[in-house]
């Protein structure tokens, strides 16, 4: 479904600030996979997502989505098939527009620039009610007035309104309080399962990395250093992940946020 072959990227090449961020990375994600991605700061997790979504063109390597070579495809064209959520709840929605207008944009109606039918409004209410946040009764409220958790849940709904071929979640609950984060993770799991969306989720919570989805990959220094699924994954503990990181990378994981979560 998603096939990445020998992908490499170096920022500021030929300067004192030269930094290899992806190094000959190859990865194959099957259709319907829910892959959790872990690694220390600077491991290349978000950079990998940027490469897949088209934020930059890699120096070398190929990216295929559903059999189509998207390596040189512009970001706005990839967005038709790739949904993405970021850590910041303020990204992914238009704060000055209403909930209804944001959903109209997500549905492909052009927001306030086109007429939203009664059938559209009914569908919006039905989808919003699934969030269990009461937003279906606040469709005329500006999104900028919502809490971070409400806005992130809405953004998740928008990103999956027309089910994408691939959903990229870049620590999308990290900025939320624990209770809200748990609720958004539950929504994520339900939506991904119901819509059968292929998904990759970066998380700093190592227990979530083992509990969610069907596969976990670990990154370090721009490479995938560990890839586990199935029965082997089901037997792993957080301590096992830490030991595996030490064993493969030759160093201890020193990300305080990951270790304390």
Give the sign of the dihedral formed by CA 211, CA 213, CA 217, CA 221: negative
Q: What pLDDT digit, counting tens, does each position of 36-57 carry?
A: 999 999 999 999 999 999 999 9
- Determine what percent of the chain is predicted with pLDDT higher than 70: 94
| Mean pLDDT taken over the chain | 93
What's the pLDDT tens digit per position in 58-67? 999 999 999 9
Give tens-digit pLDDT for 193-248.
999 999 999 999 999 999 999 999 999 999 999 999 999 999 999 999 999 999 99
261 pLDDT higher than 90: no
140 has pLDDT over 90: yes
Residue 16 in this model has a pLDDT that exceeds 90: yes
Digit-coded pLDDT (tens) for 105-138: 998 876 555 678 899 999 999 999 999 999 999 9
Tell me the per-residue pLDDT of 151-204, one tens digit each, with 9 for 90 and over. 999 999 999 999 999 999 999 999 999 989 999 999 999 999 999 999 999 999
């Amino acid at each position: 479904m998603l096939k990445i072959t020998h992908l490499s990227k170096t920022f500021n090449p030929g300067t004192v600030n030269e930094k290899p961020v992806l190094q000959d990375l190859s990865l194959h994600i099957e259709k319907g996979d829910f892959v959790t991605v872990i690694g220390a700061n600077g491991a290349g997790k978000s950079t990998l997502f940027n490469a897949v979504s088209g934020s930059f063109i890699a120096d070398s390597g190929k990216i295929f989505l559903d059999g189509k070579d998207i390596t040189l495809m512009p970001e706005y064209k990839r967005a038709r098939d790739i949904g993405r959520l970021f850590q910041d709840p303020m990204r992914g929605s238009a704060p000055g527009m209403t909930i209804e207008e944001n959903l109209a944009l997500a549905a492909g109606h052009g927001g306030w620039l086109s007429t939203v039918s009664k059938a559209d409004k009914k569908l919006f209410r039905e989808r919003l009610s699934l969030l269990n946040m009461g937003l279906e009764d606040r469709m005329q409220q500006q999104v900028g007035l919502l809490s971070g958790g409400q806005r992130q849940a809405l953004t998740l709904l928008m990103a999956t309104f027309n089910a994408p071929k691939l959903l990229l979640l870049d620590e999308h609950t990290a900025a939320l309080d624990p209770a809200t984060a748990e609720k958004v993770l539950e929504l994520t799991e339900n939506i991904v399962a119901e819509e059968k969306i292929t998904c990759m989720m970066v998380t700093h919570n190592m227990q979530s990395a083992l509990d969610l989805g069907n596969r976990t990959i670990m990154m370090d220094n721009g490479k995938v250093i560990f890839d586990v699924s199935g029965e082997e994954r089901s037997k792993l503990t957080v301590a096992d992940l830490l030991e595996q990181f030490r064993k493969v990378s030759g160093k201890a994981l020193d990300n305080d946020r990951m270790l304390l979560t």
